[in-house]
């Protein structure tokens, strides 16, 4: 059955794209968990949840795997409203132990005999929340099981002392010593028989004195996570034990598909491919992405300024730092899945005159928000935040969308927010941010943009200024409203396309904060209506900043604020999602027409007369 499941997942993911290596590695563990536990009554809480495809297939979603990560189809992560077997919605890491502990306590309080199991990877275990939860679990005596799925990989090779510790737990020397110690300690206890039975066919055993034991969890392992004959009896035994249990399972990322085993990083989240030949480089080179623009800028800037430090919370590939690590290894820091730490670590570096650049997805900076306020903004430290995946991200869905950063950043004193419109402007915006002596975030989306080739020369954008990119030709005497569109970020280009049809003025605002108030008020005075456009939440976003500025200047002009609605946008094709939000060229044009009325002049230009 495991073979069949593995083949099914390989072929299914090869057709849809999605997470592969992690899922191939958890096939046996998933089968064993569903065999031993009474799901959905017992709760399985997967950490991150990118390894839940076998779980989805086994829980009635096999046929829907062909719709994985597509609009209206299966989500790439567990979702409570997708299946009763998905006990907890996830996608950001290191939440599983907290959630499973909450469930275990709820069961206790309600007098229910259900079990709660958290399944967490060695990468996710580097997140502080996991330790906060274990610290709590260890004294709470709740009946829960934490399973550490140790494949010695995060997305890229894991980092930090914890990783070294796991390696030591696995090493023969430690193992042998611990085994002898465990045996003598356990003699004449019921656990001795338990440990002895495991050893007959596995390396499974009870090891005292691990860090997890110190936390108050009963550590068992390491056992082979691809061997059902180890997994099933171990889980059956652990299920009966009282108090917090910890099982260390060792698996291989990409297991069973040679190419993924050999390169689990490449196959962590591939697009579509032919399993017989594996991933092949596309014939025509793909368009330059904003991530690549950032990676190139970081290397160029580091060559100019040796104070530059590049920091990533476990997203070397995703954030475009592979080349930087190679060229500037001493100035490269992968801090693990530890966004809070990444931000305060940068603050410490900045205190000492270094120039840290935190490369972080918009959605993951949410994790480091207090650190951003308390450690960076209040002390007004010059940290650059390179916010990748700003706006809608598509297939990963609501958990990964960078919808909120303009709103959550612009309310912070001392913090500036740049919203470059294209690749070249992104490079210049990063340079501009780096030249400041206060915290600055530069937000840019996933994938490619308008295709404006970045100029090698780096030039500072005059701070806090926007620019007019198109002027409305209509005069006040002519019928129809004179409209000014204020675009923040990459939606400048669809805004320009809409403006051609509407004959509207368009400003590329470049800065969400400080806002170019002079430009805003000038445009407001010269036009009959203002439209703001951004790929971020309407509530509290850049459009709100424009409304505030106009109110402050006592200018009474109709304003239409376009952006993401007050709703979580599900997974799907990004272009389709953007269109659904009315943020493609046609959507922007329609929304303007709807709001300001199709005056004859507008209608004429709209139909190209």
Ligand X SMILES: Cc1ncc(C[n+]2csc(CCOP(=O)(O)OP(=O)(O)O)c2C)c(N)n1
- The H or E element that residue 508 is part of is strand 505-508
Q: Report the residue from 117, 155, 395, 484 that binds ligand X according to the rule CB under 6 A.
A: 155
- According to the binding rule CB under 6 A, does residue 121 interact with ligand X? yes
Which ranges constitute the DSSP H helices of 141-273?
A: 161-170, 172-186, 190-201, 211-214, 228-240, 258-262
Contact mark string toward ligand X, 282..321, x via CB under 6 A:
--------------------------------x-------
Which C-beta is closer to ligand X: that of 358 or that of 542?
Answer: 358
Which C-beta is closer to ligand X: that of 77 or that of 297?
Answer: 77
Q: Choose the binding region for ligand X from 118-126, 214-222, 284-292, 542-550 (rule: CB under 6 A).
A: 118-126
Contact 251, 149 (CB under 8 A): yes
Q: Least distance to ligand X from the beta carbon of 449, Å?
A: 23
- Pairwise CA distance, residues 341 & 128, whole Å: 8
Contact 315, 342 (CB under 8 A): no
Contact mark string toward ligand X, 5..44, x via CB under 6 A:
-----------------x----------------------
- According to the binding rule CB under 6 A, does residue 226 interact with ligand X? no
Q: Least distance to ligand X from the beta carbon of 506, Å?
A: 36
Q: Least distance to ligand X from the beta carbon of 48, Å?
A: 5
Q: Is 253 a catalytic residue?
A: yes
- Pairwise CA distance, residues 531 & 465, whole Å: 18
- According to the binding rule CB under 6 A, does residue 55 interact with ligand X? no
Q: Report the residue from 99, 124, 147, 335 that binds ligand X according to the rule CB under 6 A.
A: 124
Which C-beta is closer to ligand X: that of 386 or that of 421?
Answer: 386
Contact mark string toward ligand X, 358..377, x via CB under 6 A:
------x--x----------
Q: Is 203 a catalytic residue?
A: no
- According to the binding rule CB under 6 A, does residue 533 interact with ligand X? no
Taking the alpha carbons at both ends of the chain, their separation in whole angstroms is 65
Q: Least distance to ligand X from the beta carbon of 160, Å?
A: 12
Which C-beta is closer to ligand X: that of 364 or that of 434?
Answer: 364
- According to the binding rule CB under 6 A, does residue 537 interact with ligand X? no
- According to the binding rule CB under 6 A, does residue 543 interact with ligand X? no
- According to the binding rule CB under 6 A, does residue 427 interact with ligand X? no
Looking up tokens 């806090």, which residue turns up?
A: 464
Residue 427 phi, psi dihedral angles, 5° rounding: -60, -45
Q: Is 339 a catalytic residue?
A: yes
- Pairwise CA distance, residues 368 & 342, whole Å: 8
Which C-beta is closer to ligand X: that of 224 or that of 422?
Answer: 224
- According to the binding rule CB under 6 A, does residue 83 interact with ligand X? no
Beta strands in 5-109 (DSSP E): 43-46
Query: What separation in angstroms does the CA of 589 have from each of 491, 501, 503, 531, 542?
Result: 12, 8, 11, 11, 19
Report how many residues bind ligand X under the rule CB under 6 A: 21
- Pairwise CA distance, residues 2 & 423, whole Å: 45
Query: Which of the residues 6, 28, 115, 339 is marked catalytic?
Result: 339
Sequence-distant (≥ 6) Cβ neighbours of residue 501 within 8 angstroms:
589, 605, 606, 608
- According to the binding rule CB under 6 A, does residue 210 interact with ligand X? no
- Pairwise CA distance, residues 174 & 184, whole Å: 15
Query: Which of the residues 43, 253, 316, 389 is marked catalytic?
Result: 253
Tokens representing 197 are: 């039975």
Q: Report the residue from 30, 39, 51, 296 that binds ligand X according to the rule CB under 6 A.
A: 51
Q: Report the residue from 78, 123, 563, 574 that binds ligand X according to the rule CB under 6 A.
A: 123
Residue 384 phi, psi dihedral angles, 5° rounding: -95, 130
- According to the binding rule CB under 6 A, does residue 50 interact with ligand X? yes
3-state helix, strand, coil in the chain (%, to 5): 45, 15, 40
- Pairwise CA distance, residues 587 & 562, whole Å: 10
Q: Choose the binding region for ligand X from 151-159, 272-280, 425-433, 486-494 (rule: CB under 6 A).
A: 151-159
Residues across the chain: 609
- According to the binding rule CB under 6 A, does residue 61 interact with ligand X? no
Q: Least distance to ligand X from the beta carbon of 540, Å?
A: 22
CB atoms near residue 239 (< 10 Å)? 16
Which C-beta is closer to ligand X: that of 87 or that of 155?
Answer: 155
Which C-beta is closer to ligand X: that of 361 or that of 434?
Answer: 361
Which C-beta is closer to ligand X: that of 252 or that of 513?
Answer: 252
Looking up tokens 């696995």, which residue turns up?
A: 170
CB atoms near residue 522 (< 10 Å)? 14
CB atoms near residue 579 (< 10 Å)? 15
- Pairwise CA distance, residues 151 & 253, whole Å: 6
**Contacting residues toward ligand X, per CB under 6 A:** 22, 48, 50-51, 91-93, 121-124, 151, 153-155, 253, 314, 337, 339, 364, 367
Query: Which residues carry out catalysis?
Result: 253, 339, 367
């Amino acid at each position: 059955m495991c073979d069949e499941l593995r083949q099914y997942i390989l072929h299914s993911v090869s057709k849809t794209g999605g997470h592969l290596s992690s899922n191939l590695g958890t096939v046996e563990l998933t089968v064993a968990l569903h065999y031993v536990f009474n799901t959905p009554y017992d709760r399985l809480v997967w950490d991150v949840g990118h390894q839940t495809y076998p779980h989805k297939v086994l829980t009635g979603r096999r046929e829907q795997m062909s719709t994985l990560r597509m609009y209206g189809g299966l989500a790439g992560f567990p979702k409570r409203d997708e299946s009763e077997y998905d006990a907890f919605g996830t996608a950001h890491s290191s939440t599983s132990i907290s959630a499973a502990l909450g469930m275990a306590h709820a069961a206790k309080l309600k007098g229910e005999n259900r079990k709660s199991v958290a399944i967490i990877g060695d990468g996710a275990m580097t997140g502080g929340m996991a330790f906060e939860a274990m610290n709590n679990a260890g004294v709470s005596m709740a009946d829960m099981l934490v399973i550490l799925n140790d494949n010695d990989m995060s997305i890229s090779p894991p980092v930090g002392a914890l990783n070294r510790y796991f390696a030591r737990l696995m090493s023969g020397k430690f193992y042998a010593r611990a085994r002898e110690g465990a045996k003598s300690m356990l003699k004449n206890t019921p656990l001795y028989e338990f440990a002895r039975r495991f050893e007959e066919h596995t390396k499974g055993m009870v090891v005292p004195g691990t860090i997890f034991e110190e936390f108050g969890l009963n550590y068992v392992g390491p056992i082979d996570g691809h061997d059902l004959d180890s997994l099933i009896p171990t889980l059956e035994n652990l299920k009966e034990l009282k108090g917090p249990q910890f099982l260390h399972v060792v698996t291989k990322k990409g297991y069973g598909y040679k190419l993924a085993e050999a390169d689990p990083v490449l196959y962590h989240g591939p697009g579509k491919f032919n399993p017989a030949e594996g991933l092949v480089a596309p014939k025509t080179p793909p368009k330059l992405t904003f991530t690549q623009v950032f990676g190139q800028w970081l290397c160029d800037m580091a060559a100019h300024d040796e104070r530059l430090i590049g920091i990533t919370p476990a997203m070397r590939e995703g954030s475009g730092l592979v080349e930087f690590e190679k060229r500037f290894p001493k100035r490269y820091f992968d801090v693990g899945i530890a966004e809070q730490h990444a931000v305060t670590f940068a603050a410490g570096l900045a205190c000492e005159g270094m120039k840290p650049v935190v490369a972080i997805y918009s959605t993951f900076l949410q994790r480091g928000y207090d650190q951003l306020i308390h450690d960076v903004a209040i002390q007004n430290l010059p940290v650059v935040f390179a916010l990748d995946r700003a706006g809608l991200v598509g297939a990963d869905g609501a958990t990964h969308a960078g919808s909120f950063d303009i709103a959550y950043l612009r309310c912070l004193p001392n913090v500036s927010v740049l919203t470059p419109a294209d690749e070249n402007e992104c490079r210049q915006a990063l340079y501009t941010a780096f030249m400041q002596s206060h915290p600055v975030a530069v937000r840019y989306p996933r994938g490619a943009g308008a295709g404006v080739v970045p100029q090698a020369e780096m030039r500072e954008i005059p701070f806090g200024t926007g620019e007019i990119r198109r002027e409305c030709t209509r005069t006040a005497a002519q019928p129809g409203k004179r409209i000014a569109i204020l675009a923040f970020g990459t939606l400048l280009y669809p805004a320009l396309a809409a403006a051609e049809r509407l004959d509207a003025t368009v400003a590329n605002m470049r800065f969400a904060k400080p806002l170019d108030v002079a430009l805003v008020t000038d445009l407001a005075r010269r036009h009959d209506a203002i439209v703001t456009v951004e790929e971020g939440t309407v509530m509290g976003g850049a459009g709100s900043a424009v409304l505030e500025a106009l109110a402050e200047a006592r200018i009474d002009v109709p304003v239409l604020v376009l952006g993401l609605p007050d709703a979580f946008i599900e997974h799907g094709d990004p272009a389709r999602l953007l269109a659904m939000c009315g943020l493609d060229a046609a959507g922007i044009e329609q929304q303007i027409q709807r709001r300001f009325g199709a005056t004859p002049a507008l209608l004429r230009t709209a139909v190209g007369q």
